[in-house]
């Protein structure tokens, strides 16, 4: 194929090897980081809602998902109360953005390959057609139709190779981007729940609400009146 298509086909084959390597690496990376791990996130959120902070952090530590790392930052920040909630939220968002950038790494290279492969194939076809007509012109009066037809199909070979490289690369790239997008949605949903769910039970006991304080004060006044009437 390289002998027939020339250097353009050789470049396309190299690009196909690079694209295949990137795709296999990204799929292995996504599987290793377990982007679809929702069970750990739900379990950690249940512990957090029940006021069991340590079990929540322990559940997250056992998960390889980047979303677990982001939730650890958020839960630890809210548990320590050393920084205001907006700062904790900003720090968790920063960690999430860094993880998303790592997940999208090398996507740009796949986009370039998917865009350039058909163009290189078309370039090879044009160059092949030029060479075929040059041979036809050099033949003069001894025109052989096989010269032109042979040059044309060899020239079209580069376009076919370019499309064969670009189509699967673009399809797989869209699938990987959709994979990352679903993970981003789940991570954002879990992170939002850390800040919107009711605080742990321990915090609620330490910081009673005004309604509960008023109820306790009313009960105390009622007990004092009852004790006075008894006397």
Q: Which tens digit of pLDDT belongs to each residue from 61-95?
A: 999 999 999 999 999 888 877 678 888 899 999 99
Residue 75: inside a domain: yes
Residue 47: inside a domain: yes
Between CA 124 and CA 161 the distance in angstroms is 10
Which of the residues in the chain have pLDDT under 50?
Answer: 201-216, 218-223, 226, 230-231
Note the pLDDT of residue 150. Answer: 64
Closest CA to 92 of 229, 224, 194: 194
Residue 187: inside a domain: yes
Q: Whose structure tokens read 């009066």? A: 141
Residue 125: inside a domain: no
Half-sphere exposure of 25 (CA within 13 A, CB side): 13
Residue 175: inside a domain: yes
Q: If you count them, how many residues does the chain have?
A: 231
pTM confidence score: 0.75
Q: Whose structure tokens read 């850390």? A: 194
Domain count, the chain: 1
Residue 137: inside a domain: no
Range of the domain at 217: 2-114+166-223
Residue 131: inside a domain: no
């Amino acid at each position: 194929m390289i002998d027939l298509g020339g250097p353009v086909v050789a470049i396309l084959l190299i690009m196909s090897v690079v694209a295949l390597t990137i795709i296999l690496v990204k799929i292995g990376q996504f599987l290793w980081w377990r982007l679809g791990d929702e069970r750990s996130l739900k379990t950690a959120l249940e512990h957090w809602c029940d006021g069991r902070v340590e079990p929540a952090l322990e559940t997250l530590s056992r998960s390889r998902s980047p979303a677990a790392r982001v939730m650890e930052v958020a839960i630890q920040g809210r548990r320590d109360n050393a920084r205001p909630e907006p700062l904790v939220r900003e720090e968790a968002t920063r960690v999430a953005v860094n993880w998303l950038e790592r997940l999208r790494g090398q996507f740009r290279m796949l986009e370039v390959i998917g865009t350039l492969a058909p163009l290189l194939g078309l370039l090879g076809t044009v160059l092949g057609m030029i060479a075929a007509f040059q041979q036809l012109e050099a033949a003069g009066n001894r025109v052989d139709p096989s010269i032109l037809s042979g040059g044309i199909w060899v020239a079209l070979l580069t376009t076919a190779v370019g499309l064969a490289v670009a189509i699967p690369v673009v399809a797989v790239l869209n699938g990987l981007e959709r994979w990352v997008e679903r993970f981003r949605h789940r991570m954002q949903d879990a992170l939002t729940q850390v800040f919107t769910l009711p605080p742990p039970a321990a915090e609620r006991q330490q910081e009673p609400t005004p309604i509960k304080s008023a109820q306790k004060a009313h009960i105390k006044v009622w007990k004092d009146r009852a004790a006075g009437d008894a006397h």
